[in-house]
Structure 1
Amino acid sequence: MKRKVVVAFFAILLGMGFSFLPIQSVKAESVTSGYFVDVSARSAEVYNSSGDALGKSEPENSCWVLGRTTTFDGKDYYQIGNDEYLSSSDSYMYRDRPEVIRVETDEDVPVYNHDFVESSCVALAPGTYWYSDRVITTPDGMPFVRVATDEYVGMWNVIQQSFTEK
Structure 2
Amino acid sequence: MGLLFGLSTLANVTTVKADSVLPAGRYAFAVTRTTETTDQKGDLTSTVLPKGSSWLINTEYDKGDQTFFQLAPNVVVNLYAGYVYTPKVQDVKVISKGPASLYDHNGQLITDRALAPGSEWYSDRVIFLDHETYYRVATDEFVSIGNVEEY
Q: 1:47 to 1:151 in 2, by over 3 A?
A: same
Matches within 5 A, 1:3-152: 27=15, 31-41=23-33, 43-54=34-45, 56-138=47-129, 140-152=130-142
Maintained 8 Å contact 1:66/1:79: yes
Q: Computing the radius of gyration over CA atoms, which structure comes out larger, 1 or 2? A: 1
Name structure 1 gaps, 5 residues minimum.
1-25, 162-166
**Percent identical residues:** 27
Q: Check whether the contact 2:16–2:58 (CA below 8 A) recurs between aligned residues.
A: no
TM-score (norm 2): 0.81
Q: Which residue does the alignment assign to 2:150?
A: 160
> Retained in 1: the 8 A contact 2:94–2:117?
yes
How many aligned positions are there? 134
* SS of aligned partner of 1:89: helix
Counterpart amino acid of 2:96? T
Q: Compute the RMSD of aligned alpha carbons.
A: 1.7
Per-residue CA deviations over 1:32-72 (Å, capped at 9, x if unaligned) read 2311111111x112011123333542110111111111111
Higher helix share: 1
The answer on whether the counterparts of 2:15 and 2:58 sit within 8 Å (CA) in structure 1 is: no
What's the CA shift for 1:29? 5.8
